[in-house]
Structure 1
């Protein structure tokens, strides 16, 4: 008997990402602009196989949720929106109010812990960068949220009179404005990761990997030290673990 086909949906601030999975592997994946409900509906109409269950997380608000729900309703498929909680899939929350933790951060930690099976720093680098610490037993110790690289560059352009964003590159000693802006943003992101990593190393008194995902992951990875585990679509990986546990 073949394993069930699962649909996982990550409704983020700028993109809705989806993955069709069977038996721990991906059949198909894709993404569309969060605001483009028609594009998501079209993608869902073209799925190569009919899923038996859909699980998602949503940090993009009610409109994004409605787009997803409408598209899946056309396939006769309800979606279960997963929310953060005190304990799930081997991960427990140390957040002051567990239900207020972003559902995408929670799913990413579950995905990372299922892969590592121990302490790790979970970094998701997108519109925002989240840096979340798990101890050896899968307990979420706490985390950081900061602007993503593109968000930093956009803010500089919007809030200053003389800085205009253009295609810059990372340089040890930037000699033009575009390179200076890009280097500063990358250093801020990588520096935050390294500080959070060192704090976790001290907390668990040992070496821990950095689990890295998101659109800016490759850019940041070049400037990190220690063991870095690059996982594509970490939030979807976590949602898959959650969905498989609901079978």
Structure 2
């Protein structure tokens, strides 16, 4: 796909943008939605190139954010944004939701990217505000998923729901599990408990797939993925921090091929 593309992965807390050219994705950056809400999308203008051909976005931050982004892109580049939506089937993946449109578009795009690369059973683990798990079998069929509060969300819930727990000394990074399962301080107990809750969910998902004779590749992504030690989940693991942006590229490639095909079939006048 030899076009200059601007890609947006708009999550619950952060917007991640990327630029794609003939050699692939060559620049990415994340900006908090808090900053954008305070200063507007124009804070991106100085960081983006002067010329773009297409723009594609995965957005789970709501219609208001989508409208503001649409105005920004139209103002600076005079192009429309292709906002992706979840489908029943596409790019080799069959959506497992009873109501396919209700599946978060970020999860749908991530599945497209992961399946495009692996084309065998896999489990996507997205570390964001929430931890999401999505399982796909050897035929590209989405088996369903789970949505679990992320580490920071768990920590913050303790602050609001208790009176004597102080999480100010906690950072929100993942760490290799200690040899001691039980914490010897409140901080250790909170960190260990929260982290083990997420690990337990992941192990349960893998076990469930193995019961169906599947040996999934674990695909790690999300804003928190950068903090995860490389030996955290074992050998059968891939780290793909730009998974959603990769999925948007796959979608744009198919759209571009369709457009070229349609142009080649336009009847000549005269």
The reply to whether TM is greater than 0.5 is: yes
Query: How far does residue 101 in structure 1 lie from its aligned partner after superposition?
Result: 0.4
User: Once the 2 structures are TM-superposed, how far is the Cα of residue 221 of structure 1 from its aligned partner?
Assistant: 5.9
The answer as to 2:234 corresponding to 1:234 is no
Residues 130, 145 of structure 1: 8 Å contact kept:
yes
Aligned to 1:17: 16
Deviation digits for residues 198-225 of structure 1 (CA, Å, limit 9, x no counterpart) = 111222x132210011122243764424
Structure 1: runs of 5+ lacking an equivalent: none
Give secondary structure in 2 for the equivalent of 1:105. helix
SS in 1 for 2:69: helix
Q: 1:43 Cα deviation (Å)? A: 1.6
Q: CA 1:221 to 1:124, structure 2 compared with 1: closer, same or farther past 3 Å?
A: farther
Q: Secondary structure at the match of 1:216?
A: helix
Partner of 1:209: 217
Alpha-carbon distance in structure 1 between the residues aligned to 2:139 and 2:22:
26
Per-residue deviation at 1:84?
0.3
1:46 maps to: 47
Q: Which residue of 1 aligns with 2:67?
A: 66
Check if 1:32 corresponds to 2:31: yes
Distance 1:179 1:206, change over 3 A: same
Q: Secondary structure at the match of 2:143?
A: strand
Question: Secondary structure in 1 aligned to 2:41?
Answer: helix
- Residue 116, structure 1, aligned to residue 118, structure 2: yes
Secondary structure, counterpart of 1:63 in structure 2: helix
SS at structure 2 position matched to 1:72: helix
TM-score (norm 1): 0.92
Bigger Rg, which one: 2
> Is 1:96 aligned to 2:88, yes or no?
no
Q: CA RMSD in A?
A: 1.9
Quote the residue 2:197 is aligned against: 188
The Cα of 1:68 is off from its aligned counterpart by 1.3
Change (3 A) 1:58 1:235: same
Cα distance change of structure 1 residues 62 and 4 upon mapping to structure 2, 3 Å threshold: same
SS in 2 for 1:181: helix
For 2:220 and 2:150, the matched residues in 1 are separated by 14
The aligned residue for residue 146 of structure 1 is 148
State the shift of 1:145 in Å: 0.5
Distance 1:145 1:221, change over 3 A: farther
Gaps of 5+ in 2: 257-270
Which residue in 2 is equivalent to 1:4? 3
Cα distance change of structure 1 residues 97 and 24 upon mapping to structure 2, 3 Å threshold:
farther
Match of 1:167 in 2: 170
Q: Take 1:15 and 1:157, find their aligned partners in 2: how far apart are those partners?
A: 22
